[in-house]
DNA sequence: CTGCTAATTAGCAAAAATGCTAATTAGGGT
DNA sequence: ACCCTAATTAGCATTTTTGCTAATTAGCAG
């Protein structure tokens, strides 16, 4: 759901997590180590991101590997860009043709 | 501030307001008329958007005209797109050159 | 099974967001 | 001055979010 995505993006720590995941998949513990907040707090941020499907989690034996889900991020970015273009109220069929 | 922007975008009504503003500048009252929520509630949503500089407000005599600020929206979209590209840890100087 | 590490879930308190009604400000018009 | 409409601000209650510590689950090693 679109709303969960923007809600998830509304906390700076969660955007920071996504930024860290740009470097590649990361273990939950490695992510937590980058922040001042407690582990359980990080864990919940990750859960929020997972709920929004902005990340995926895969257990690797003892630990859990988080991966960014770029397609959902793309959709969010596209939604924002969609708010920029002027809506001239034209017939959508004609609009698609131009 | 970047954070205020994403906070502002996290509420569906506010994204809806921005969507309505795609059609062009709108009076606060016309915007409020599109929603089920009370006027003061709408007024606060508008204030949040204004704080984030996602919209501007100009008094036109008796009423107030709201306009979308696309540049802030662009920055937000760009920030999201920035989270997508893989960070390979390369020297930023080289990276800028490619 | 016991012990150890990794991570999550439970439960709580504090802070922030939401949304309402009532009161207020701002700008005309008469 | 008075009144009317447009919009915001005040004040309050409810809900959601945040973040902590303590307790729990999950997997692996011995």
Judged by CB atoms closer than 8 Å, whether chains meet at A77 and B70 is answered as no
Q: What is the pLDDT of residues A23-65, one digit of tens each?
A: 999 999 999 999 999 999 999 999 999 999 999 999 999 999 9
CATH number for position A25: 1.10.10.10
Judged by CB atoms closer than 8 Å, whether chains meet at B10 and A12 is answered as no
A40 falls within a domain: yes
A39 falls within a domain: yes
A67 falls within a domain: yes
A22 falls within a domain: yes
Concatenating the DSSP letter of every residue in A57-88 gives EEEETTEEEEEE-HHHHHHHHHHHHHHHS---
B89 falls within a domain: no
Task: Check whether B95 has a pLDDT greater than 90.
Answer: no
B88 falls within a domain: no
Judged by CB atoms closer than 8 Å, whether chains meet at B73 and A85 is answered as no
> Residue A53 has what pLDDT?
98
Strand D contacted by A58 CB (< 7 A) = no
Beta-carbon contacts of residue B21 (< 8 Å; ≥ 6 apart): B31, B55, B66, B67, B68
A7 falls within a domain: yes
**A50 in contact with B, Cβ within 8 Å:** no
Share of chain B above pLDDT 90, in %: 85
Which alpha helices (DSSP H) does B37-69 contain, by range? 39-51
The number of folded domains in chain B is: 1
B43 falls within a domain: yes
Q: What is the DSSP letter of B35?
A: S
Q: Closest protein residue to D20 using CA and C1' atoms?
A: A38
**B18 in contact with A, Cβ within 8 Å:** yes
> Residue B73 has what pLDDT?
98
> Residue A98 has what pLDDT?
61
CA distance A55 to A59: 13
Structural domain containing residue A26: 2-74
């Amino acid at each position: 759901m679109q709303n969960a995505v923007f809600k998830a993006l509304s906390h700076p720590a969660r955007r920071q997590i996504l930024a860290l995941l740009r470097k590649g998949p990361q273990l939950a513990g490695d992510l937590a180590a980058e922040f001042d907040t407690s582990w359980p707090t990080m864990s919940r941020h990750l859960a929020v991101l997972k709920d929004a499907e902005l990340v995926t989690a895969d257990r690797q034996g003892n630990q859990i590997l988080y991966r960014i889900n770029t397609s959902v991020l793309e959709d969010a970015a596209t939604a924002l860009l969609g708010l920029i273009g002027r809506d001239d109220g034209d017939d959508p069929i004609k609009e698609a043709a131009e």
